[in-house]
């Protein structure tokens, strides 16, 4: 079974609107971390946001927020007020296990977001 599932291969959003990118995960470990990375066409991987499994609040970083629904095992990325520069591939990733003893990130297959002017 896939550990990280991103079901939207591609999405469009109008500039200045909000968009949600879906991510579901599968783990039996009570301690885990969820990450979102952005990969623009230039190819680098840019860290956006992190959510720990024990975090009580949903993570937010500027225009990025993570809609964490633990019971549903989903960690959707919400981008508010989309900008043309948000056009990129977005990857969800999971670390299984406590952060001080687990080092592997498992990545989803990504969602390509295109922001329309």
Partner 1 sequence: NAGVTQTPKFQVLKTGQSMTLQCAQDMNHNSMYWYRQDPGMGLRLIYYSASEGTTDKGEVPNGYNVSRLNKREFSLRLESAAPSQTSVYFCASSGHPPGTDTQYFGPGTRLTVL
Which residues are at the interface with partner 1 (CB under 8 A)? 4, 33, 35, 37, 43-47, 50, 52, 91, 93, 95, 99-100, 103-105, 107-110
The answer to whether the beta carbons of residues 25 and 71 sit under 8 Å apart is no
Query: Which is closer to partner 1, CB of 30 or CB of 43?
Result: 43
Query: Which is closer to partner 1, CB of 64 or CB of 107?
Result: 107
Distance CA 107, CA 93 (A): 4
The answer to whether the beta carbons of residues 19 and 67 sit under 8 Å apart is no
Q: For residue 52, list its beta bridge partners.
A: 33
Query: Which is closer to partner 1, CB of 33 or CB of 115?
Result: 33
Q: Whole-number minimum distance, CB 85 to partner 1, in Å?
A: 18
């Amino acid at each position: 079974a896939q550990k990280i599932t991103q079901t939207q291969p591609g999405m469009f959003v109008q500039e200045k609107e909000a968009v949600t990118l879906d991510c579901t995960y599968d783990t039996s470990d009570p301690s885990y971390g969820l990450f979102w990375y952005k990969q623009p066409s230039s190819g680098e991987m840019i860290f956006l946001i992190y959510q720990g499994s024990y975090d009580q609040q949903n993570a937010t970083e500027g225009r990025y927020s993570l809609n964490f629904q633990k019971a549903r095992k989903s960690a959707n990325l919400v981008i508010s007020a989309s900008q043309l520069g948000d056009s990129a591939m977005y990857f969800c990733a999971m670390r299984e296990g406590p952060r001080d003893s687990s080092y592997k990130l498992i990545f989803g297959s990504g969602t390509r977001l295109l922001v329309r002017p």
